[in-house]
Amino acid sequence: MTSDLHAPTRRHLLLASGTLFAWAYLPKVARAEGRDPRLLVIVLRGALDGLAAVAPVGDPDWVALRGDKALTLDGKPPALPLDSFFALNPAMPNLHRLYKAGAATIVHATATSYRERSHFDGQDVLESGLGKPGASDTGWLNRALASLQPAGRAGGGREAFAVGPIAPLVVRGPAPVLSWTPRRLPPASDDTLTRLLDLYQHTDPALARVLEERMGLATIARAGGMDAEQPRAAGAGQVRAYFAESAGTAARFLARADGPRIGALAFDGWDTHAAEGATNGRLAMLLGALDGAIAAIETEMKDAWGETVVAVVTEFGRTARINGTDGTDHGTATVALLAGGALKGGRVVADWPGLKPAKLHEGRDLKATTDLRAVLKGLLKDHLRVDDTVLASKVFPDSAAVKPMAGLLQRV
Amino acid sequence: MALDPKAEAALALHRFGVSPRPGSIAAIASDPRGALLADLDRAGAGRIPDTDLLPSGPAWRAAFAYQESQRMARRAERAMQQANAQGAGGAATDTKPPDMKPADQPATPAAPRLSPGPGVPQQLYLDEAKARFNAALGAEIGFVERLVWFWSNHFCVSADKGNVRQICGAYEREAIRAHVLGRFGDMLLAVESHPAMLIYLDNARSIGPDSLAGLRQKRGLNENLAREILELHTLGVRSVYTQEDVTRFANVITGWTLVGMREDPARGGEFEFNARTHQPGAQMVIGKSYPDTGAEQGRAVLAALARHPATAKHVATKLARHFIADEPPPALVERLAKRFLATQGDLKEVAKTLVTSPEAWEAPRAKLKRPGEWIIGALRAVGYTPPDIGLMMQAHNLLGEPLWRPSAPKGFTDESAPWLDGLAQRLDIANQLARRVGGAADPREVFEEALAPIASAETRQAITRAESRPQALALLFMAPEFQRR
């Protein structure tokens, strides 16, 4: 709670909403096995375009679908090959390196059970773990924690921490949660401003004019009066720094012997309706920042990296085709990115649905063939040793039919 | 009316109230105008109930006592430093840390200490600010609160002047709130005889040149308050008065001052009429001669000013400009002025006339909300009370409307254009607030409860399509329909 309402500069938009840990509850069973597992969940709010993050370059319909916006192995820059079928966005060299080293797994064509296209409701379902939006004020990660027996470690951070502005729903709930708020303010994102300007231009030209003027001034200020051609360049560095600091700090806490073992944070900004820029624009910048965040986690985890899983998830995917404004609209299936030394990685897990029009969900979205809950249940079961029945009833209620995905972890 | 009932209810709350909170629009949709009129008829309307806040006299004395103790503490500290320097007999060879007392010197018994924290004046100021914000956040409709804000700004003082800080909140309660639905003449008298105003506009030290004190001292007349009463508080600039009227009126109100603390510690800071500084003799003010009847002379002039048609016109114009439009409809101003004159300045009747006039509802929603209105409106929409009063104060400062601290006696402007410049800062605040509220509020519900009946399809779409709840809330707070009224 440092700067609060007194913003020293313009536009401190929300890109991340703090990092939350549950300290008192620890995976006791896993510890009894001589392990000390860590789980960090990163929620990407706004719906990540899974096809732009991990492209099915081996699918014959891929290039036809996205045209010159399609990632390809001979693109500029070229996509990073994962296997004979999938390739990673070139903005993510760290994740690629981890994948090659067996410490990253990609799950593709995955989605929650939510099939509508509202961000708020989609995030509700993703974070609550329930089948319907708005039904819960607790998150699945918290309920999973609450089911674990308190490990009763001596010392070790049961004391309250400063509470940040918002706890992501995924960690809210009965288990005691302490939060830490990054000291660095989220960097200015142009997304809210762009949306607001668009609204003003359609409804209130006078307000639009004022905001445009302010944007113009800020552009000059940001570019130091010299570099007005590329006004957005400075912002990318800020986003990158913010992602890395947030994730790296979370990792430093998780790495400590007396620290928490579970954490969650959220990064905003993935709602790429216009000028998506998968290879060298906005999405590439965000993916690069996310890649840097994963690298920061690996670095800060030090020896604990071998017992770590980072799960990067988003509320839903985006349309398979590019829309009329070089972006993508709200869709269905997407990717989940898993990284960490505890994984049995180097694989893309996908029951690929295909990209032909008839194969697309409602003729427009990548079809979901893997229930995201299966992935999360697999991690909770094999990594933290959350009980099967608890997973099916309390953590992801009414999900008995969705079996935990096996084989994600090195040790089972 | 052209508006459907819910739209009229939303307009009533945004234009005349402190913006909707969940349920407000539905609650008054059957009769929005009736609801505004009923707000005026509530028992205790305008007052802050059950308060521990100090009246201005005790507040003044508490602040004085604090300031005295601080002065003594500083003096004691200086004395001790000097004693240390001398007692050490040459600082260069002294190896003791400077904060240690020489062993042979006894500690000063019960030396007053500099106290940490904001200090009494600032604490009084913040307590009053909190009570004011809470009154607005807790209001059902808030029409009377808005009238309080209007009159408080019309008769503004500044916490930055002299010792006004410790009593500016009490001033609003005692001079403004007490009369907000009473007579203009009573409010005027309460305002101009209040210590806060007498200090703010320098009358407390104005001395009649021919008074007992004036004949003995070099100091003399100060015209500041007299001028602003005529120019800003009553008749209006360039109306019916001359420089001679200003000077003579200044003479009339010489002697309107405060009891000095040293003169009477029990009554220090209360209003008093000091005959020793009052200019003797009759004075001619705006065509009428007022015999020297002491304090009564000033009261008589104020009463005449309160009844003057120019005052009615001035006040009517300002009210209509504040609530309705930068260029208010002349017919509305005319009707308000007439009602003002016909009721001897009955402010409740004038307020009723305002909200029952068709022009007040027909004007386009073009006025930008003032920062304070907008901040309170945003907080009410999401049902959030900032845990720390400092955040509220900072937000007001950042948006250019620091509470009770206008830069000039004219108060904060009621025109929209100057406030437009702060739009980018509003986005900062909107983002910060949205972050704090976060996932706790569903933006779609907030939208339905606060804005939907008067919102465009584009605004609805922008909010429902936002990528996260905080972003949706920020867009809602920044929507034209939430910025304008």
| Nearest-by-CA chain A residue for B425 | A10
Q: How long a stretch of residues is chain A? A: 412
Give the separation between CA B370 and CA B377, rounded to whole angstroms.
11
Tokens (6 digits) for A357: 């029009």
Is the pLDDT assigned to residue B269 strictly greater than 70? yes
- Whether B350 has a pLDDT exceeding 80, the answer reads yes
Inform me whether the C-beta atom of residue A8 falls under 8 Å from chain B C-beta atoms: no
CB B437 within 8 A of CB B382: yes
Q: Identify which of A6, A11, A119 has the shortest CB distance to residue B394.
A: A6
pLDDT at B109 over 70: no
Q: Give me the residue label for tokens 């909010």.
A: B463
How far is A145 from A173, CA to CA, in rounded Å?
Answer: 9
The answer to whether B475 faces chain A, any CB pair under 8 Å, is yes
* B53 Ramachandran zone, left/alpha/beta (phi>0; psi -120 to 50): beta
Of A11, A203, A218, the CB nearest to B458: A203
Which 410-429 residues of chain B touch chain A by CB within 8 A? Answer: 420-421, 423-425, 427-429
Of B425, B427, B467, the CB nearest to A270: B467
| Residue B111 pLDDT | 54
Interface check B385 vs A, CB under 8 A: no
Task: Select the residue of B397, B434, B459 nearest A199 (Cβ to Cβ).
Answer: B459
Fold annotation for A16-185+236-395: Alkaline Phosphatase, subunit A (3.40.720)
- Residue of chain A nearest B432, judged by CA positions: A5
Predicted local confidence at residue A13, as pLDDT: 23
CA distance A89 to A75: 11
User: Which one of A1, A9, A14 would you mutate to disrupt binding with B, by most B Cβ within 10 Å of its Cβ?
Assistant: A14
- Residue pair A29/A385 in contact by the 8 Å Cβ criterion: yes
Q: Which of B101-110, B297-306, B361-370 has the lowest mean pLDDT?
A: B101-110
pLDDT in tens, A167-183: 678 887 777 766 666 65
Shortest CA gap B36–chain A (Å): 29
For residue A218, what is the nearest residue in chain B, using CA coordinates?
B424
Mean pLDDT, to the nearest integer, of B360-386?
96
- Out of B431, B469, B480, name the one closest to residue A12 (CB): B431
Closest among B310, B382, B314, B319 to B347, alpha carbons compared:
B319
Contact A326, A339 (CB under 8 A): no
DSSP string, B370-423: PHHHHHHHHHHHHT---S-HHHHHHHHHHTT--TT--SSTT-S---SHHHHTTH
| Nearest residue on chain B to A165, alpha-carbon basis | B436
Looking at residue B219, what is its pLDDT? 79
Please state, in angstroms and rounded to a whole number, the distance separating the CA atoms of residues A243 and A288.
10
- Would you state the pLDDT for residue B455? 97
Q: What is the mean pLDDT of residues B151-179?
A: 97
Distance of CA A266 to the CA centre of its chain: 7
Q: What is the pLDDT of residue B42?
A: 96
Q: How many CB atoms lie within 10 A of CB A192?
A: 27
State the pLDDT at residue A239: 84
pLDDT-wise least confident of A162-166, B292-296, B346-350, B424-428: A162-166
Using CB atoms, pick whichever of B423, B459, B467 lies closest to residue A203. B459
Interface check for B468 against chain A (CB to CB < 8 A): the answer is yes
The per-residue pLDDT for A325 is 87
> What residue ranges in A275-404 does DSSP mark as E strands?
308-314, 334-339, 347-349, 370-371
> CA-to-CA distance for B421 and B195, rounded, in angstroms?
35
Chain B contact present for A344, CB below 8 A: no
- Residue A2, pLDDT score: 29
User: Is B99 at the interface with chain A, CB within 8 A?
Assistant: no
Report the pLDDT value the prediction gives residue A189, as an integer from 0 to 100.
60
Task: Report CB contact under 8 Å: B470, A17.
Answer: yes
φ/ψ of A385, rounded to 5, equals 65, 40
- What predicted TM-score, i.e. pTM, was given to this entire model? 0.80
Residues of A in contact with B433 (CB under 8 A): 5
- Is the CB of A210 less than 8 angstroms away from the CB of B423? yes
- pLDDT by residue (tens digit) across A49-96? 999 999 999 999 999 999 999 999 999 999 999 999 999 999 999 999
Helix (H) or strand (E) holding B138, with range, is helix B120-138
Say how far apart CA B158 and CA A53 lie, in whole Å.
Answer: 57
Label the pairing between strands A38-45 and A308-314.
parallel
In Å, how far is A249's CA from the nearest CA of chain B? 20
Interface touch A198/B388, C-beta < 8 Å: no
Give the residue extent of every domain in chain A: 16-185+236-395
Give me the residue from A45, A46, A211 closest to B424, CB to CB: A211
Instruction: Give residue A149's pLDDT.
Output: 64
Task: Spell out which residues of chain B touch residue A211, defining contact as CB-CB under 8 Å.
Answer: 423-424, 427
Which residue in chain A has the smallest CA separation from B391?
A5
- Which has more confidence, B93 or B163? B163
Contact B480 A12 (CB under 8 A): no
Q: How far apart are CA B60 and CA B69, in angstroms?
A: 14
Residue of B435, B444, B460 to mutate, testing the A interface (most A Cβ within 10 Å of its Cβ): B435
Q: Do B431 and A13 touch (CB under 8 A)?
A: yes
Q: Which residue of A has its CA nearest to B366?
A: A204
The pLDDT, as a whole number, for residue B84 is 87
Q: If you count residue pairs, one on A and one on B, with CB atoms under 8 Å apart, how many are there?
A: 136
In chain A (412 residues long), the average pLDDT of successive 10-residue segments reads 27 32 61 85 94 98 95 96 98 98 98 92 93 84 79 36 53 72 57 91 94 68 42 63 85 81 86 90 95 97 96 97 92 98 97 97 97 98 93 94 96 78
**In terms of CA atoms, which chain A residue is nearest residue B368?**
A207
Cβ of A6 and B398 within 8 Å?
A: yes
Q: Which residue of B has its CA nearest to A169?
A: B439
Cross-chain Cβ contact B467/A191 below 8 Å: yes
Mean pLDDT for all residues in chain B: 92
Name chain A contacts of B388, Cβ cutoff 8 Å.
4
Residue B222 has pLDDT above 80, yes or no: yes
